[in-house]
Amino acid sequence: MSWASYLFNNINEKSNPVTNLAPCTDEEIAERIRASINSYATESNEDTFKPDTVFESFHYQARIPISDRALLAGFLMLWLKCLCSANATA
């Protein structure tokens, strides 16, 4: 769901229309980067990573959102993932 909320604004809020992201100013980007978490440590085994493994986060923000074609590709990827998950449990 985090990938879907990155691609489509308001996807978690049923009362608001789903929209693509608006272009950002340099100030908005700088603020989001300052507010981001620089690193995190695992609390339990995550795949081959042991507890207390520290991951560094390199937060990147674009001024111009991704294209409508990329949004469509992202939507189709999410749709197919949901479709395949539904078929696997049936």
Contact 16, 10 (CB under 8 A): yes
Lowest-confidence segment of 7-11, 22-26, 64-68 by average pLDDT:
7-11
The single residue listed with the structure tokens 């949004």 is 71
Reduced DSSP (H G I as helix, E B as strand, rest coil) percent helix, strand, coil of the chain, to 5 = 40, 10, 45
Res. 64: pLDDT tops 60: yes
What's the Cα-to-Cα distance from 46 to each of 1, 37, 85, rounded to whole Å? 19, 19, 22
Given this model, what pLDDT does residue 81 score?
82
Res. 54: pLDDT tops 80: yes
Q: Kindly report whether the global pTM for this prediction surpasses the value 0.75.
A: no
Q: Which residue has the higher pLDDT, 68 or 19?
A: 68
Listed by start position, the domains of the chain span 1-21+67-90, 23-64
